[in-house]
Amino acid sequence: MARDETTPSAPEMSWFAWGAPERAEALAPGLRDLIAQVLHADVRPIPPVEEADVELPPSRLTDRLREAVAEIVGSDHVVTDDALRLRRSGGKSTPDLLRRRSGQADPASDAVVRPADHEQVRRLLELCTAEGTAVVPFGGGTSVVGGVDPLRGPFDTVIALDLCRLDTLVSFDRTSATAVLGAGLRAPRAEELLGEHGCTLGHLPQSFEYATIGGFAATRSAGQASAGYGRFEDMVVSLRVATPRGTLELGGAPASAAGPDLKRLMLGSEGTLGVITEVGVRVRPVPETVLDEAWTFPDFATGTEALRVLAQSDARPTMARVLDESETFVGAAMGGREAMPGCQAVLGFEGTEEEVETRAGLVRRLMTEAGGTRLGPEAVAHWRQNRFSSPYLRDTLLGAGILAETLETATTWTGLLPLYEAVTEALKGSLEGEEGGAVLMCHVSHTYPTGASLYFTVATAAGSDPISRWDRAKRAASDAIAEAGGTISHHHAVGADHRPWMASEIGPLGAQILRSVKSALDPEGVLNPGKLVPDPS
């Protein structure tokens, strides 16, 4: 099923920033000066060029190929105008935005193609394989790791396969508590459609406003309530995937021992093995009540130990995160609250009133025994209120000449604090110098019985060459992560940016297996070149 409209229902994001342009706010001069003092740096604004001045390479789509693609999707859905090609020229990392602000949009897709359904996607992949045309699947465009960069690899032509028309609730099974969703369905619309049946996915990553169901599956996304609902991959019960070799229908039964789980193989494949067109998911009833609590701990080590105790108990909140001392201080300052010493934890509970009260009571006892002091819900309310506006603040700071970027990883509980220290030292060492210092913040936002994630936020002066400045810092942090035994990505995915570290994470044989699978499903290598799959050494 697909919509008949010729344009997507959701508004386009800004071509040089995150989200809706009208929601961007200017940074007060006084605040910019204060930040500059903290960073010990001279900051200079980085305004974007005019859109008309962006250097967009001309489309290489031939008339013959355009006609062949139009026979499949209709001529209205083969778009080569500069405005849309610019908005499909990559994701939303700070380097992505810096390049566009400076007027560079190369690489860029040669066309944006909008199929209506699975069969059209399958036929397009068959055509592009025969014609030697690279295909980059495009959902919400929220990647911050180069996952949707229109790299053409060895091919002359590259198209952005925009899945925006695959945006329906395909089916709903109340008895089995499952639903099948189109891969191009934006997360807010998915919640609206499921809400009409009294259900929810409970998946709320920071990209929620623009990300798509297919993107969640292709990148193994994790939302803020993962402690209660699980990661997105835990919600997936079935997949429909188009590949250059045909269609894969994966999963459906609640469990199977019929060999390796191929569904899991496609989750996290980032459009390199096939194009996910439909996602079957487990749904939950919309919670009757939500209870939030903030807690304070003497230090980050004590706070992370408290979350370990929770993760290894049966008394888990729906949401649990702990902020280090720096992020606690900055969060309080931005919320207009008095900064307390130590670090803060944010907990949330969802369910029936009885379930919430029972779990909250058990958690309070464990948190108190672990050295925590219970606060009111005000800090959590401020966090929720500003949850989806942080990317706008990042872009506001960028316009003022201040880099604010994030990176994330995960490891075991035993390795968590050593990894935290290693990445912190790597970032400081690569950023502090003649062009100023850096403010580093971190929080734990996803916990498991065996370990947890670390999510770092970095603020530093852009300097004379901001892209190179951040690239040095990101490489230093990534090397530190690999050396300390962390994963190169907990939920941002691999894309092009993390690909150099994939072979060290999965080993030479693991890399060979990935290449073999890709060769079997995508023999000509047209699907999302330059992403995820390591090159032969």
CATH number at residue 275: 3.30.465.10
Rounded average pLDDT over 253-271: 96
Tens digit of pLDDT for each residue in 287-304? 999 999 999 999 999 999
β-pair type (157-162, 111-113): parallel
Q: For residue 13, is it within any domain?
A: no
CATH number of domain containing 115: 3.30.43.10
Q: What is the residue type of 370?
A: A
Q: For residue 486, is it within any domain?
A: yes
Rounded average pLDDT over 349-363: 96
- Compute the C-alpha angle 168/206/530, nearest 5°: 80
CATH number of domain containing 474: 3.30.300.330
Residue 5 has pLDDT above 50, yes or no: no
Q: For residue 400, is it within any domain?
A: yes
Confidence at 192, pLDDT banded by 50, 70, 90: very high
Q: Are residues 336 and 423 in the same domain?
A: no
Q: Are residues 374 and 470 in the same domain?
A: no
Q: Are residues 362 and 469 in the same domain?
A: no
Alpha helices by DSSP H, 74-219:
82-87, 94-101, 118-131, 187-195, 213-219
Of 11-15, 111-115, 251-255, where does the model show the most confidence? 111-115
Portion of the chain with pLDDT greater than 90, in percent: 88
Q: What pLDDT was estimated at residue 9?
A: 54
| Average per-residue pLDDT for the chain | 95
β-pair type (319-323, 78-79): unpaired
Residue 147 has pLDDT above 80, yes or no: yes
Rounded to an integer, what distance in angstroms lies between the CA atom of residue 403 and that of residue 394? Answer: 8
Q: Which of 162, 183, 216 marks a domain boundary?
A: 162
CATH number of domain containing 304: 3.30.70.3450
Tens digit of pLDDT for each residue in 313-336? 998 899 999 999 999 998 888 777
Residue 401 has pLDDT above 90, yes or no: yes
Q: What is the residue type of 484?
A: A
Q: For residue 18, is it within any domain?
A: no
Residue 64 has pLDDT above 70, yes or no: yes
Q: What pLDDT was estimated at residue 194?
A: 98
Q: What pLDDT was estimated at residue 299?
A: 97
Residue 257 has pLDDT above 70, yes or no: yes
Residue 510 has pLDDT above 60, yes or no: yes
Tell me, what DSSP letter sits at residue 211?
A: -
Residue 412 has pLDDT above 60, yes or no: yes
CB 526 within 8 A of CB 129: yes
- DSSP codes joined into one string, 418-444: HHHHHHHHHHHHHH-BTTB-EEEEEEE
Q: What pLDDT was estimated at residue 535?
A: 94
Q: Are residues 400 and 480 in the same domain?
A: yes
Tens digit of pLDDT for each residue in 491-501? 999 999 999 99
pTM: 0.96
Portion of the chain with pLDDT greater than 70, in percent: 98
Q: Which of 162, 179, 205 marks a domain boundary?
A: 162
Residue 36 has pLDDT above 90, yes or no: no
Rounded average pLDDT over 3-24: 75
Rounded to an integer, what distance in angstroms lies between the CA atom of residue 216 and that of residue 271? Answer: 12
Nearest to 155 by CA among 62, 266, 273: 62
Cross-strand bridge partners of residue 348: 292, 319
Q: Which of 285, 301, 332 marks a domain boundary?
A: 285
Q: Are residues 181 and 281 in the same domain?
A: yes
Q: For residue 226, is it within any domain?
A: yes
Q: Are residues 402 and 320 in the same domain?
A: no
Q: Are residues 83 and 48 in the same domain?
A: no
Q: What pLDDT was estimated at residue 10?
A: 62
Q: Are residues 421 and 440 in the same domain?
A: yes
What is the extent of the structural domain holding 77?
A: 58-162
Q: Are residues 173 and 278 in the same domain?
A: yes
Q: Residue 408: CB partners within 8 Å, gap ≥ 6?
A: 453, 454, 455, 456, 489, 490, 491, 492
Q: Are residues 233 and 299 in the same domain?
A: no
Q: What pLDDT was estimated at residue 520?
A: 98
Rounded to an integer, what distance in angstroms lies between the CA atom of residue 383 and that of residue 159? Answer: 39
Rounded to an integer, what distance in angstroms lies between the CA atom of residue 501 and that of residue 471? Answer: 14
Q: What pLDDT was estimated at residue 402?
A: 94
Rounded to an integer, what distance in angstroms lies between the CA atom of residue 502 and that of residue 490? Answer: 13
Q: What pLDDT was estimated at residue 4?
A: 42
Task: Specify burial of residue 315 (Cβ count, 10 A radius: 0-12, 13-18, 19+).
Answer: middle
Q: Are residues 307 and 333 in the same domain?
A: yes
Q: Are residues 50 and 122 in the same domain?
A: no
Residue 6 has pLDDT above 70, yes or no: no
The structural domain count of the chain equals 4
Q: For residue 4, is it within any domain?
A: no
Residue 418 has pLDDT above 90, yes or no: yes
Q: For residue 392, is it within any domain?
A: yes
Residue 97 has pLDDT above 50, yes or no: yes
Q: For residue 256, is it within any domain?
A: yes
